[in-house]
């Protein structure tokens, strides 16, 4: 089959790789019809490269049609249309029973000290072949795939794999009080969807970004915007709009993509020149992030407010202003999305009407063979690329 594979920093290619096969009686094989490119995929060809291996199949936002099932699979059958969650969870362990599928005890990567395995990601998360391919082996066929109805286009459901549950969890973790103000830092795919979900739930939403295409998408749906990412500008503007207090809650949808720390920028660039065998253990214990967005969130939230962290950070010793956080009585919530925890809340919004605007959420739909150029355009924010779907 054809698949998007990792070949190095800033280097993805489309190769012919072996077809996946059933390895367990609860496996299913899914023929992929759509698979998104995520901002986290860019991390793999940048700062997380030391944890990748040449030939790794990428992608963790797939959906498609079941083509083959193991002998013990009863929940889906060949021909069923399914979305595949990005985190691999058994659905039956204690963590899964608590709605913490991202911490699944069956697929936890204990040797690495990390949570549940992820499709198409690094050695830290199991190095499981991903879904930017023609076919995908999906374990736990009775509990992991999300069965969706036939009829509507893939755009209606594909974001159940990651974008929708990640954004939904971020909004829920923010716990903005009724009638309150939610500030969203970063209007990429996750931040954009956060504003849509929050507005659907009746909150006042203010988004922060400087990319014209992102700002245009947000304002078209009624989101208030701040057209600067400078911390002083953002803090002053949000306080001006909230009687001097600051936002009731802030979502940081930026993470390690943030700019603003010269020291972290040097550390991130070092991953490109220091051999992976040396850099990988360093990255697991050292701070490599630019905390500009998180620091902005902490300053912009009101006293007693909540910061919800959905942007991915990779460092282990990044300094945080704990004194300021303690003094302001800030609550901080974060973590990989627990996809199945939120599916019952989200799926009804996708079946009939389209209140979240998923039908036109993608800016680009391209054939799988054009993945290298699509990655480059998304990375450089060219041609208005905000959300890209690959279609084998």
Residue-wise pLDDT tens digits, 74-85: 999 999 999 999
Residue where the block lists tokens 């963790």: 60
Region 341-360 average pLDDT: 96
pLDDT at 288 over 70: no
Q: Are 156 and 359 in contact (CB under 8 A)?
A: yes
User: 289 — phi, psi (to 5°)?
Assistant: -100, 160
- 2-16, 34-48, 73-87, 91-105 — which is least confidently predicted? 34-48
Split into its structural domains, the chain has a count of 2
Looking at the structure, tell me whether residues 170 and 46 fall in a common domain.
no
Looking at the structure, tell me whether residues 215 and 69 fall in a common domain.
no
Distances (CA, A) of 179 to 48, 201, 218, 248, 361: 40, 10, 20, 10, 26
How far is it, in rounded angstroms, from Cα 17 to Cα 5? 9
Looking at the structure, tell me whether residues 105 and 16 fall in a common domain.
yes
Please, what sign has the CA dihedral across residues 31, 364, 160, 354?
negative
- Compute the radius of gyration of the chain from its Cα atoms: 20
Looking at the structure, tell me whether residues 158 and 35 fall in a common domain.
yes
The confidence band for 265, taking pLDDT boundaries of 50, 70 and 90, is: very low
Looking at the structure, tell me whether residues 221 and 317 fall in a common domain.
yes
Per-residue pLDDT at 99: 98
Looking at the structure, tell me whether residues 18 and 154 fall in a common domain.
yes
Give the pair of three-digit tokens for residue 232: 């002083």
- 8-22, 252-266, 301-315, 370-384 — which is least confidently predicted? 252-266
E-state strands within 38-166: 62-69, 81-83, 135-138, 146-147
Looking at the structure, tell me whether residues 251 and 291 fall in a common domain.
yes
Q: Of 310, 370, 368, 11, whose CA–CA distance to 169 is shortest? A: 310
Task: Give pLDDT tens digits for 146-197.
Answer: 999 999 999 999 999 999 999 999 999 999 999 999 999 999 999 999 999 9
Looking at the structure, tell me whether residues 67 and 193 fall in a common domain.
no
Three-state SS for 301-355 is EEEEEEEEECCCCCCCCCCCCHHHHHHHCCEEEECCCCHHHHHHHHCHHHHCCCC
Looking at the structure, tell me whether residues 40 and 129 fall in a common domain.
yes
How far is it, in rounded angstroms, from Cα 301 to Cα 278? 39
Tell me the CATH number at 69: 3.90.180.10
How far is it, in rounded angstroms, from Cα 15 to Cα 369? 9
List, in order, residues 6 or more apart from 270 with CB less than 8 Å away: 279
The string of DSSP codes covering 43-62 is: HHTTTTGGG--TTPBP-S-E
pTM more than 0.85: yes
Torsion of CA 258, 259, 264, 269, to 10 degrees: 100
Q: Are 127 and 109 in contact (CB under 8 A)?
A: no
Neighbours of 12 (CB within 10 A): 23
- Paired with 128 in beta bridges are 119
- Domain-ending residue, one of 334, 356, 371: 334
Neighbours of 202 (CB within 10 A): 10
Neighbours of 275 (CB within 10 A): 8
Tell me the CATH number at 297: 3.40.50.720
Looking at the structure, tell me whether residues 124 and 200 fall in a common domain.
no
- Domain-ending residue, one of 289, 304, 334: 334
Task: Give pLDDT tens digits for 363-390.
Answer: 999 999 999 999 999 999 889 999 999 9
Looking at the structure, tell me whether residues 42 and 145 fall in a common domain.
yes
Looking at the structure, tell me whether residues 146 and 193 fall in a common domain.
no
Per-residue pLDDT at 287: 45
Distances (CA, A) of 346 to 83, 293, 311, 362: 13, 28, 21, 18
The confidence band for 276, taking pLDDT boundaries of 50, 70 and 90, is: low
User: 35 — phi, psi (to 5°)?
Assistant: -150, 125
Laid out side by side, the sheet with 204-208 consists of 224-226, 204-208, 181-185, 247-252, 301-309, 331-334
Domain ranges, residue 325: 164-334
pLDDT at 285 over 80: no
């Amino acid at each position: 089959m054809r698949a998007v594979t990792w070949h190095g920093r800033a280097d993805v290619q489309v190769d012919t790789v072996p077809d996946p096969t059933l390895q367990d009686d609860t496996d299913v094989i899914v023929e992929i019809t759509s698979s998104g490119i995520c901002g986290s995929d860019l991390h793999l060809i940048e700062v997380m490269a030391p944890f990748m291996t040449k030939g790794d199949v990428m992608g963790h936002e797939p959906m498609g049609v079941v083509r083959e099932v193991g002998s013990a699979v009863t929940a889906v059958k060949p021909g069923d249309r399914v979305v595949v969650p990005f985190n691999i969870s058994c659905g039956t362990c204690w963590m899964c029973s608590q709605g913490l599928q991202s911490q699944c005890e069956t697929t936890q990567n204990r040797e690495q000290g990390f949570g549940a395995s992820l499709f198409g990601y690094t050695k830290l998360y199991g190095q499981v072949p991903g879904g930017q391919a023609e076919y995908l082996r999906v374990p736990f066929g009775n509990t992991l795939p999300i069965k969706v109805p036939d009829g509507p286009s893939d755009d209606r459901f594909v974001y159940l794999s990651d974008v929708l549950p990640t954004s939904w969890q971020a909004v829920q973790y923010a716990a903005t009080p009724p009638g309150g103000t939610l500030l969203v830092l970063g209007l990429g795919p996750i931040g954009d969807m956060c504003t849509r979900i929050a507005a659907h739930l009746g909150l006042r939403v203010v988004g922060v970004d400087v990319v014209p295409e992102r700002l245009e998408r947000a304002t078209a749906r009624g989101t208030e915007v701040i057209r600067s990412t400078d911390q002083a500008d953002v803090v002053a503007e949000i306080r001006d709009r909230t009687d001097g207090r600051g936002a009731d809650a802030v979502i940081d949808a930026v993470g390690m993509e943030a700019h603003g720390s010269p020291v972290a920028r040097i550390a991130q660039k070092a991953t490109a020149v220091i051999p992976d065998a040396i850099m990988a253990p360093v990255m697991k214990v050292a701070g490599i992030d630019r905390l500009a967005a998180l620091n902005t969130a902490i300053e912009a939230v009101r006293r007693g407010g909540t910061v919800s962290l959905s942007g991915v950070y990779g460092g282990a010793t990044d300094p945080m202003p704990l004194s300021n956080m303690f003094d302001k009585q800030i609550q901080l919530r974060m973590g990989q999305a627990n996809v199945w925890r939120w599916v019952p809340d989200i799926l009804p919004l996708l079946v009939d009407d389209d209140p979240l605007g998923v039908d036109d959420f993608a800016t680009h739909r391209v054939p799988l063979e054009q993945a290298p150029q699509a990655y480059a355009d998304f990375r450089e924010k060219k041609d208005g690329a905000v959300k890209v779907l690959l279609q084998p």
